[in-house]
Amino acid sequence: MKPLQVGLLGMGTVGCGTWTVLKRNEEEITRRAGRPIRITWIATRTLERAHQATRGAKGIHLTTDPEEVIGRPDVDIVVELIGGIEPAKSYVLRAIANGKHVVTANKALLARHGNEIFAAAQKTGVMVAFEAAVAGGIPIIKALREGLTANRIEWIAGIINGTSNFILSEMRATGAPFATVLAEAQARGYAEADPTFDVEGIDAAHKLTIMSAIAFGVPMQLDKVYTEGITRLTREDLRYAEELGYRIKLLGITRRASVAGSANSEGIELRVHPTLVPAKRLIANVEGAMNAVLVKGDAVGATLYYGPGAGAEPTASAVIADLVDVTRMHTADPEHRVPHLAFQPDQLSNIPFLPMGEVRTSYYLRMRVLDRPGVLADITRILADREISIDAMIQKEPPEGEDRTDIILLTHQSIERQIVDAIAKIESLPTVNGKVVRIRMEELN
């Protein structure tokens, strides 16, 4: 049968991985797809690298001009591996307008402009597939969109940035400082071109936006994500968390929650932040650059997806899975294909996102205080006045010759705006030194 012809835009790490895996497993992939899938065009800024990767291959054309690939009538699928917003967005929209199916690993592009891109694809009847955009090699898009389709999804919590997880794992295991471990993650090639995307939670926010849209059937709304990274975490807090039986992970969390004070109205939580997770949970033991996504469905219960979230061949695995899906479905009537966001496009819901102040969760609070009678009573009164209940507490011995010590409090579930208010009040006490460290906690059970 005539091969489906693929044009690759970008021949970096993932592009080379896609070429290699497609060649190596050609025979099995063809048996699965029903017809051969051939990369026939590659647009890249680094022709030398592409020449080396594809050397000796017949029927392959290299160019530095992506427009040449997008405009060719014999290219059926365009694979966008350029990353970033522009020019990737223009290429994707033009490929769609030219009637090409698109496979992309571009999480930033989809989180920001997915609604526009899917609407364009809907109009021209083409598919836009994006398994590689979230959690690299883990087939989480497939799981959410198809495998769990019977469920009302209640929540998702994921370690979806390998760089941050690598940094937190190394800091905990070796006690190395943040900057040293970040440099190591960059050297290993996990980090984004701009590593602030990793350590400030932006990359995780992109991926969470995509998962939330699919889980709840809502449009992509990146601007609604509360985002806090790992740059302010200290080794002390990692150690105290450990003493209390927790690990700190950068989690992306999205949840259907009832709005405080209104039994009938629902909102969606959408947040990325460092989180204390009980050390006994499987997800707390995901170490290094690995990713894991925990999904709670009403019928199935909790399911956990684990694997490499980055890297040449793991990401290529997801790109090629999409190529096979597109190959199998490209002659199908567009109405009979799996909808981009799992729900039929006219069935997306406008359920609102919950502002962070309305989110209900538990907290780890660390404060440095004068070691004298009445200090703890003042703090607990401030908490009690706001109906914040304490679950556990440790007070450290003051270091030799010092009169100040650390108190760590774990709270029961409280509303975020009450905690913010209590922290401001505690910080204003003359017996409390500096800022209160606040890290959210999730039981995930």
Question: Please, which residue, 142 or 256, has the CB nearer to ligand HSE?
Answer: 142
Question: Please, which residue, 52 or 196, has the CB nearer to ligand HSE?
Answer: 196
Q: Using CA of residue 149, residue 151, residue 154, residue 155, what is the dihedral sign?
A: negative
Minimum CB separation from ligand HSE for residue 365, in Å? 29
Burial label for 341, CB within 10 Å (0-12, 13-18, 19+), is buried
Minimum CB separation from ligand HSE for residue 82, in Å? 14
Return residues touching ligand HSE (CB under 6 A): 136, 161-163, 190-192, 198, 203, 309-310
Residue 398 amino acid letter: P
Question: Please, which residue, 163 or 414, has the CB nearer to ligand HSE?
Answer: 163
Burial label for 154, CB within 10 Å (0-12, 13-18, 19+), is middle
Minimum CB separation from ligand HSE for residue 92, in Å? 18
Question: Please, which residue, 180 or 344, has the CB nearer to ligand HSE?
Answer: 180
Minimum CB separation from ligand HSE for residue 245, in Å? 27
Minimum CB separation from ligand HSE for residue 423, in Å? 30
User: Within 10 Å of residue 394's Cβ, how many Cβ atoms?
Assistant: 13
Question: Please, which residue, 294 or 426, has the CB nearer to ligand HSE?
Answer: 294
Known catalytic residues? 207
Question: Going by C-beta distance under 8 Å and a sequence separation of 6 or more, which residues neighbour residue 63?
Answer: 41, 42, 43, 44, 69
Question: Please, which residue, 162 or 297, has the CB nearer to ligand HSE?
Answer: 162
Minimum CB separation from ligand HSE for residue 420, in Å? 30
Question: Going by C-beta distance under 8 Å and a sequence separation of 6 or more, which residues neighbour residue 189?
Answer: 13, 310, 311
Question: Please, which residue, 163 or 411, has the CB nearer to ligand HSE?
Answer: 163
User: Within 10 Å of residue 256's Cβ, how many Cβ atoms?
Assistant: 18
DSSP for 154-195, please give it: EEEEEE--HHHHHHHHHHHHH---HHHHHHHHHHTT-S-SST
- Bridge partners of residue 97, in order along the sequence: none
Residue 185 amino acid letter: A
Q: Which of 121, 102, 148 is nearest to 322 (CA)?
A: 102
Asked whether 214 and 145 are in contact (CB, 8 A), the reply is yes
Minimum CB separation from ligand HSE for residue 207, in Å? 7
Q: How far is CA 167 from CA 136, 176, 178, 305, in A?
A: 18, 9, 7, 21
Question: Please, which residue, 297 or 307, has the CB nearer to ligand HSE?
Answer: 307
Residue 235 belongs to what H/E stretch?
A: helix 235-243
- Determine phi and psi for 65, rounding to 5 degrees: -110, 105
**Helix (DSSP H) and strand (DSSP E) numbers for the chain:** 15, 17
Calpha distance 8→22 (Å, rounded) = 12
DSSP 8-state symbol, 96: H
Asked whether 166 and 181 are in contact (CB, 8 A), the reply is yes
Minimum CB separation from ligand HSE for residue 112, in Å? 15
Minimum CB separation from ligand HSE for residue 225, in Å? 16
Question: Please, which residue, 321 or 426, has the CB nearer to ligand HSE?
Answer: 321
DSSP 8-state symbol, 143: I
